[in-house]
């Protein structure tokens, strides 16, 4: 039996990754922060996999919380074959009005917590075949007018991926980052049709991506033993228009 842990694993991209892993036969532990409705919906939609699926409710927006999650995982699982760090948050406060507490919240959730979770779980990850996947973002490369903290945190995630390869290479554990473009998730539900059109016009394929397309790439990386230290863009050709 193989075991996977997916943070932010009950909604959006994380949900799609969790579901793909379930279909591939993994026992999946999906971590979520607070949305009980989404968590219960996720369980109901995947009732055929109940024996393979566990949920942990924990807000991992700090180093301390991330290490606490590692403690829980160690009690719950005999080991971890795949760790997907997907949890993220953002802040759309305009530059000039960003508060230190909001900046810290985004950096801690998106960058600091994943680092300390990986550090805590390092001894649990299967040698020779373990996989660590981090979720970056296209805004790490293409600055947007909003959410400076989000873009900076995701740029940090992409560089952290490369640094971590140095520490896990001797154990045969690969570390990679997937950098999605604009994906059809609840994050974009409030965008007007005009706003969506402006974004689509910047994408060569003229559409948002689907969470399942991200999950497909995740699985390809998990199955490949030689992809390591990569930041893989999946954005439909953003800025090629």
- Residues with Cβ < 8 Å from 53, sequence gap 6 or more? 18, 22, 27, 28, 30, 43, 46
Cβ-contact 199, 178 below 8 angstroms: no
Around 126, how many Cα atoms within 13 Å sit in the side-chain half-sphere?
A: 17
Q: Which one from 26, 32, 150, 238 is the annotated catalytic residue?
A: 150
Structure tokens at 114: 């994943």
* CA-to-CA dists, residue 232 to 59, 179, 180, 217, angstroms: 27, 6, 8, 9
Residue carrying structure tokens 């979720």? 135
**Residue 167 known to be catalytic:** no
Which residues are annotated as catalytic? 150
């Amino acid at each position: 039996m193989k075991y996977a842990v997916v943070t932010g694993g009950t909604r959006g991209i994380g949900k799609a990754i969790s579901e793909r892993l379930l279909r591939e036969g993994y026992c999946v532990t999906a971590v979520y922060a607070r949305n009980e409705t989404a968590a219960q919906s996720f369980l109901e939609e995947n009732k055929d996999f109940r024996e393979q699926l566990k949920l942990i409710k924990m807000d991992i927006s700090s180093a301390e919380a991330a290490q606490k999650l590692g403690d829980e995982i160690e009690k719950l699982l005999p080991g971890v074959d795949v760790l997907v760090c997907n949890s993220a948050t953002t802040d759309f406060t305009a530059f000039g009005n960003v508060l230190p507490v909001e900046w810290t919240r985004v950096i801690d959730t998106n960058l600091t917590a994943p680092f300390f979770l990986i550090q805590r779980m390092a001894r649990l990850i299967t040698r020779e075949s373990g996989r660590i996947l981090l979720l970056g973002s296209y805004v790490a490369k293409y600055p947007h007018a909003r959410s400076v903290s989000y873009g900076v945190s995701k740029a940090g995630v992409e560089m952290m991926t490369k640094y971590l390869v140095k520490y896990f290479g001797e154990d045969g554990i690969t570390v990679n980052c997937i950098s999605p473009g604009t994906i059809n998730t609840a994050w974009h539900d409030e965008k007007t049709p005009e706003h969506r059109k402006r974004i689509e016009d910047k994408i060569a394929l003229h559409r948002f991506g689907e969470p399942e397309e991200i999950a497909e790439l995740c699985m390809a990386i998990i199955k490949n033993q030689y992809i390591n230290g990569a930041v893989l863009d999946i954005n439909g050709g953003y800025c090629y228009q």
